[in-house]
């Protein structure tokens, strides 16, 4: 069965290094918490708010061993007034038998405000 594994993070300031470090940290946490095997990943969507312009966050995914052939797409997040600034969101489409309630979505830094209902869920 295909499941969506969500994650999001923010960067303090615009810059390629900060964007790649934050994205790498987010992807790493998503992989660890969900025991993700890249051979079972169908695709990854990564969006960024319009204020992230220095680099493609998806470049961080290529740093992970065995993720070379996983299809990834970057896109711009909707520019909604009052929306979270400098935010990177990830959706991993994963083939797993894990139940929906047992998927571990990961929200870091200021992005924890996006889904406070998922914090400290057991």
Average pLDDT of the chain? Answer: 95
| 87 labelled catalytic | no
| 62 labelled catalytic | yes
Question: Taking a C-beta distance cutoff of 8 angstroms, is the pair 18, 11 a contact?
Answer: yes
Which of 25, 85, 89, 94 is catalytic? The answer is 89
Which of 77, 86, 87, 94 is catalytic? The answer is 77
Helices (H), the chain: 16-34
Identify which of 16, 11, 7 has the alpha carbon closest to the alpha carbon of residue 110: 11
Which of 3, 6, 25, 40 is catalytic? The answer is 6
pTM value is 0.94
Confidence of residue 120 (pLDDT cuts 50, 70, 90): low
| 40 labelled catalytic | no
pLDDT tens for residues 17-63?
999 999 999 999 999 999 999 999 999 999 999 999 999 999 999 99
| All structural domains of the chain | 2-118 (3.30.1330.40)
């Amino acid at each position: 069965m295909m499941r969506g594994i969500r994650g999001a993070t923010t960067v303090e300031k615009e810059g390629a290094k900060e964007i790649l470090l934050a994205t790498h940290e987010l992807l790493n946490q998503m992989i660890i918490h969900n025991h993700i095997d890249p051979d079972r990943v169908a695709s990854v969507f990564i969006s960024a708010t319009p204020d992230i312009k220095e680099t493609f966050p998806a470049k961080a995914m290529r740093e992970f061993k065995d993720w070379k052939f996983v299809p990834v797409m970057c896109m711009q997040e909707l520019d909604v007034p009052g929306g979270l600034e400098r935010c990177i969101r990830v959706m991993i489409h994963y083939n797993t038998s894990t139940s929906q309630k047992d998927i571990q979505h990961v929200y870091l830094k200021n992005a924890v405000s996006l889904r406070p209902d998922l914090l400290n869920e057991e």
